[in-house]
Amino acid sequence: MGKDIDNRTREVYGRLWRYVTPHKLIGMVAVIGMTVTAIIEGALVLLLEPLMDEALVAQNLTTAMWLPIAFVTIFVLRGISGFATEASLGWIGRSVISSLRRDVFRKFLTLPTKFFDQQTTGPLLSRMTYNVEMVAESVTSVVTIAIRDVLTVFAAIGVMLYQSPTLTVFVAFLFPVIAAIVHFLGVAFRRYSDRIQDSVGEVTQVTEEIIRGNQVVKAFGGYEYEQNRLEEVDERNRKQNLKLIRVRSMGVAVTQVIFGVGVAAVIYAASRESVDGDLTPGQFISFFSAMMLMLQPVRRITNVNATLQRGVAGADSLFEIIDEDDEIDTGTVHADRVNGNVEFRNVSFSYGKDDKKVLQDISIVVKSGTTLALVGHSGSGKSTLASLLPRFYDVDSGDILIDGTSVSDYSLASLRDNISFVTQDVVLFNDTIGNNLAYGQLKNKTEEEFLAAAEAAHVVEFVNDLPEGFDTMVGDRGVLLSGGQRQRIAIGRALLKNAPVLILDEATSSLDSHSERRIQEALNVLMKDRTTIVIAHRLSTVERADQIIVLDAGRIVESGTHSDLLAANGHYAALYRIQFSDT
């Protein structure tokens, strides 16, 4: 078990090291700074001997002259080396944070949709903030300890050996005891740091949810429930932190006690004249100071082992994400613009391996330029079917073909370039209306294309009333806009993309019948020369489709045109009657 942890630690640190190596030059500055600092610390305690014996006791004038100069020089040097160390290590630390953050973010962009379905947001978010900081702190601390403190200990030991070898050997017996304790505490530490990271994620999760859902909290009086939820996770976080603090401060205390006992023993031994002949007062003070000089570094070595373990736990959680598999993108077919013949061939799909089939044996042919309408009860699998086309998910069995080529044979980029999607939940980013409409690669479109799309989607209509026009910020997830306005931006985005295959998932659901009719006109123009899959609860939007498929519990139960299906007097006719009596 202990071996496993050590191997893991080494492996994780090896990987982290690769984030540090690009900064070799700055690293050299830090190493030099730390080395100089350690040497200076040693020199300081060494100088205590002439200070005592010659300048103070023997009143030697020459020594009294050069000693002050030496001290000033040394402190100036120490200031410089200290600054160089701090600044360069800080620089490296921040660089490690940035690179890790970017790597994780890049991964988030390319992970399959399934990954996000299975994770909660809070812990994922806290990795980007809390965990990366933890890791960088760990890296810089460990480097400081490994170089500056270790060298300081060596310098101190050098001074001690120089002043009194016998006493040094005596002190050396104390160290195995300290090492054993340090090791034991490190194991305990790692356990708690893991749990702390988990509980930070929980706190983020709960907080994010109440911010996002503040209206629901208010409307349903969820105050107490949410407060309790927070207190529960926060309490867990507090307890784990306290345990960590306890282990850490115990480490410090125990080390100090052991050291204190050592000091007492040294004082006792040194006061017996038999040790190394006669120690002068200066030699003893110098030896003793060297020993005290070791106290801080040794204490930090205890602490840093803990920080190291914390860093390992943090880095582990980051590498875990970085190592996740990307979306499968092995297709090589590239199509600038497909014709848009879409075929679902015996498609079956379930969200998880053991989950029930959400779609079963679906076969549909949609000829280029025609419109397919998907209707069916809520939960029948309409959105799922649509999301398979741009490969947000991959089919379990069967195949989906565009122009006779399997969607998995296209490169993801090429496949998605050819599909416009208005999703059921409109997603807007905290940016301007203009940037939300011309999102991503749509930035490259011309001003005319942009305005034409905005006009057709009736975005211009409400943008003109805004003082800042297209530069108006939409707020977090678009909260500053109405549902219908958001939907119009999403439609504008799809229009602007002008792809040969268009998917509209409940695209006009938040619009009043007046706007809906007008957007429908724009959509009709748009749908004319491209393959369209439209999903709608309102049957008025599907009446004109070339082909209507009725889904029920993941199976096709009916298909045909509006008039065919009405004549058949089956599922569709029943749905239609319900709709009709509604209005």
Q: How far apart are CA 496 and CA 442, in angstroms?
A: 7
| Residue nearer to Mg ion on the CB measure, 331 or 554 | 554
How far apart are CB 550 and ligand ATP at their closest, in Å? 11
Q: Which of ligand ATP, Mg ion, none lies near 175, with the C-beta cut-off 5 to 8 A by kind?
A: none
243 contact partners, CB below 8 Å, separation of at least 6: 192
| Residue nearer to ligand ATP on the CB measure, 117 or 320 | 117
| Residue nearer to Mg ion on the CB measure, 44 or 362 | 362
Q: Which helix (H) or strand (E) holds 452?
A: helix 447-456
The conformation of residue 479, written as its DSSP 8-state character, comes to T
171, 160 Cβ separation under 8 angstroms: yes
How far apart are CB 579 and ligand ATP at their closest, in Å? 14
In 21-164, alpha helices (H): 24-50, 61-110, 113-118, 121-126, 132-144, 150-163
Binding of Mg ion by 515 (CB under 5 A): no
Q: How far apart are CA 359 and CA 397, in angstroms?
A: 10
End-to-end CA distance of the chain: 69
| Residue nearer to Mg ion on the CB measure, 31 or 388 | 388
Q: How far apart are CA 507 and CA 529, in angstroms?
A: 19
| Residue nearer to Mg ion on the CB measure, 266 or 375 | 375
431, 440 Cβ separation under 8 angstroms: no
Binding of Mg ion by 204 (CB under 5 A): no
568, 560 Cβ separation under 8 angstroms: yes
How far apart are CB 383 and Mg ion at their closest, in Å? 3
| Residue nearer to ligand ATP on the CB measure, 186 or 376 | 376
How far apart are CB 376 and ligand ATP at their closest, in Å? 6
| Residue nearer to Mg ion on the CB measure, 97 or 534 | 534
Q: Which of Mg ion, ligand ATP, none lies near 379, with the C-beta cut-off 5 to 8 A by kind?
A: ligand ATP
How far apart are CB 382 and Mg ion at their closest, in Å? 5
Give me the residues that bind ligand ATP (CB under 6 A), please: 117, 351, 358, 376, 378-384, 424
Number of residues that bind Mg ion (CB under 5 A): 2
Q: How far apart are CA 141 and CA 537, in angstroms?
A: 59
Q: Which helix (H) or strand (E) holds 406?
A: strand 405-406
Residue nearest to Mg ion (CB): 383
Binding of Mg ion by 508 (CB under 5 A): no
Q: Which of Mg ion, ligand ATP, none lies near 95, with the C-beta cut-off 5 to 8 A by kind?
A: none
How far apart are CB 532 and Mg ion at their closest, in Å? 16
How far apart are CB 364 and Mg ion at their closest, in Å? 17
Q: How far apart are CA 248 and CA 60, in angstroms?
A: 47
How far apart are CB 444 and ligand ATP at their closest, in Å? 32
Binding of Mg ion by 380 (CB under 5 A): no
Stretch that binds Mg ion, among 67-75, 378-386, 402-410, 482-490 (CB under 5 A): 378-386
Helix axes 281-322, 223-271, angle to 10 degrees: 150
Q: Which of ligand ATP, Mg ion, none lies near 324, with the C-beta cut-off 5 to 8 A by kind?
A: none
Binding of Mg ion by 307 (CB under 5 A): no
Q: How far apart are CA 316 and CA 14, in angstroms?
A: 12
282, 49 Cβ separation under 8 angstroms: yes
Q: How far apart are CA 113 and CA 102, in angstroms?
A: 19
How far apart are CB 343 and ligand ATP at their closest, in Å? 20
| Residue nearer to ligand ATP on the CB measure, 193 or 371 | 371
| Residue nearer to Mg ion on the CB measure, 266 or 386 | 386
**3 state SS of 351:** coil
Structure tokens at 21: 């190596």
Query: Which residue in 88, 144, 152, 383 binds Mg ion (CB under 5 A)?
Result: 383
Q: Which helix (H) or strand (E) holds 170?
A: helix 165-172
| Residue nearer to ligand ATP on the CB measure, 362 or 502 | 362
Residues of span 392-451 touching Mg ion by CB under 5 A: 424
How far apart are CB 409 and ligand ATP at their closest, in Å? 25
How far apart are CB 554 and ligand ATP at their closest, in Å? 7
Measuring CA to CA, how many Å separate 100 from each of 10, 84, 143? 18, 24, 18
| Residue nearer to Mg ion on the CB measure, 23 or 382 | 382
Stretch that binds Mg ion, among 108-116, 118-126, 354-362, 381-389 (CB under 5 A): 381-389
Q: How far apart are CA 179 and CA 202, in angstroms?
A: 35
Structure tokens at 20: 């540090």
Positions in the binding site for Mg ion (CB under 5 A): 383, 424
